[in-house]
Amino acid sequence: MNEMGLNLTSEEQDMLGGKRGNATRKAMEIITTLGEIYGAERLLPVVSVQIAGVSYHNLGEAGLEYLSEMAEDGRTQVLTTLNPAGMDLLEWKKHGISDDFAVNQKRVVDAFSKMGVVTTCTCTPYLIGNLPHYGEHIAWAESSAVCFANSVIGARTNREGGPSALASALTGKTAEYGFHLEKNRVAQVGYEIRAELKTTDDFGLLGKVMGDRTGKEIPYITGVSHATTDHLRSFCASIATYGGVALFHMEGITPNRTAVPEITETVTKEDLEKARQELDDESAEIDFISVGCPHASIADIARVAELLDGKKVTEGKTVWITTAKPTKDVAIKMGYYDKIEKAGAYLVSDACCAVAPLKGRFKGLMTDSAKACFYARGKNRFDVRIRTVDECIKAAIS
């Protein structure tokens, strides 16, 4: 046991003592400090890491300097992928990203690459091969992915920050506290959903209602009869954004193994409609349509391609379908990319409408994502409107 009360193995002590290099020492300092703050008794090995804070727009020069320093001798110990960057790493120019921004964004990605990070930038790592299984300990940072990993997959992760996730990548360790412990994964509030949920925007609205109502409490949800991976992806993003929820249990759908709390909350069709009204800016002048928050699956892209096939995006409107690069590659192979781009829309990989430097470029965003609405309003000062994917695409071509 070291002076901080953590039981460290000799390997971990070596890392902390600098025997594995400077970056590993710094990384271990972050992990042990967090462990001390949260009363952990030991560190755990992690099998997967996902790092957020990748966009140069958010990192700035200070963040880049830190990464460059860590990249001098830091190397990843486990599979590590990145959250979206501020631009499509290949096709950024045609999306209106400036040369200056591109140069700096590439410096960020290069620093991660030097450390051995798989530089595919996505908030849905579970769709492209960074997929832990039930019960595994991981260190992920993107809030929607954290919620998905804990709830849908049943893996175990705290909501890491950029530096702590990087620290786990470089050491292969995390401190055992929070959601790594069974006792902290028990449902705290019971919900009954009395509304039919059909589309990703419906699930996003449900996440907003619940997040607004009971915040971070771990919900046990009954009454949802069916949910696809894409529905759950949308729900996770929304409930994490509006409530900071990192874990939920959905009866019959997620691998919940928890005591069931008394049902004290109900969500009705009217609640969802009210949430939609709260998100919709009546007078929004829609000039930007974005689908793919969290990053679109190949099924989403196939549907968008079908809707756009042979059509043209109306002049004055910009359409971004955002996804992971490996998914974009499949879309290219399947001919979906051509259909989307021939219509004048963009299939954008590695980035999204919230982390790209888009402030001032548009007035109003239409999206199927409640989370995208939150950031578009708060960060980019766009008006917003939430609709189904089909309605979004139809609005783009009408």
Taking CB under 6 A as the binding criterion, the range among 15-23, 90-98, 274-282, 293-301 that sits at the site for ligand F3S is 293-301
| Subset of 369-398 contacting ligand F3S (CB under 6 A) | 371-372, 375
Q: What is the dihedral of CA 65, 66, 67, 73, to 10 degrees?
A: 110
Whole-angstrom distance, CA of residue 39 vs CA of residue 70: 27
Q: Is residue 295 near ligand F3S by the rule CB under 6 A?
A: yes
CA 237 to chain centre: 7
- 147 vs 275 by CB, closer to ligand F3S: 147
Query: Measured from the CB of residue 356, what is the shortest distance to ligand F3S in angstroms?
Result: 9
Q: Is residue 294 near ligand F3S by the rule CB under 6 A?
A: yes
Whole-angstrom distance, CA of residue 352 vs CA of residue 15: 36
Pairing assessment for the beta strands 173-175 and 43-45 based on DSSP bridges: antiparallel
| Site pattern 314..343 for ligand F3S (x: CB under 6 A) | --------x---------------------
Taking CB under 6 A as the binding criterion, the range among 42-50, 90-98, 247-255, 350-358 that sits at the site for ligand F3S is 350-358
- 354 vs 396 by CB, closer to ligand F3S: 354
- 78 vs 293 by CB, closer to ligand F3S: 293
Q: Is residue 84 near ligand F3S by the rule CB under 6 A?
A: yes
Q: Is residue 123 near ligand F3S by the rule CB under 6 A?
A: yes
Taking CB under 6 A as the binding criterion, the range among 63-71, 204-212, 287-295, 379-387 that sits at the site for ligand F3S is 287-295
User: Which distant-in-sequence residues (6+ apart) come within 8 Å of 224 by Cβ?
Assistant: 193, 197, 250, 251, 252, 253
CA-CA-CA-CA torsion sign (148, 149, 154, 156): negative
Q: Is residue 276 near ligand F3S by the rule CB under 6 A?
A: no
Q: Is residue 197 near ligand F3S by the rule CB under 6 A?
A: no
Q: Which spans in 86-138 are helix H? A: 99-114
Whole-angstrom distance, CA of residue 130 vs CA of residue 81: 7
Query: Measured from the CB of residue 83, what is the shortest distance to ligand F3S in angstroms?
Result: 6
Altogether, the residues listed in the chain come to a count of 398
Q: Is residue 141 near ligand F3S by the rule CB under 6 A?
A: no
Query: Measured from the CB of residue 236, what is the shortest distance to ligand F3S in angstroms?
Result: 9
CA-CA-CA-CA torsion sign (212, 213, 216, 220): negative
The b-or-e profile of 263-299 (16+ CB within 10 A means b, else e) is eebebeeebbeebbeebbbeeeebbbbbbbbbbbbbe
Q: Which of 23, 169, 293, 365 binds ligand F3S (CB under 6 A)?
A: 293
| Subset of 224-243 contacting ligand F3S (CB under 6 A) | 237
Query: Measured from the CB of residue 320, what is the shortest distance to ligand F3S in angstroms?
Result: 10
Interface with ligand F3S: number of residues (CB under 6 A): 16
Q: Is residue 147 near ligand F3S by the rule CB under 6 A?
A: no
Q: Is residue 144 near ligand F3S by the rule CB under 6 A?
A: yes
CB 234 within 8 A of CB 368: yes
- 83 vs 256 by CB, closer to ligand F3S: 83
What is the 8-class DSSP label of residue 154? -
What is the 8-class DSSP label of residue 178? G
CB-CB neighbours of 331 under 10 Å: 25
Positions in the binding site for ligand F3S (CB under 6 A): 83-84, 123, 142, 144, 237, 293-295, 322, 352, 354-355, 371-372, 375
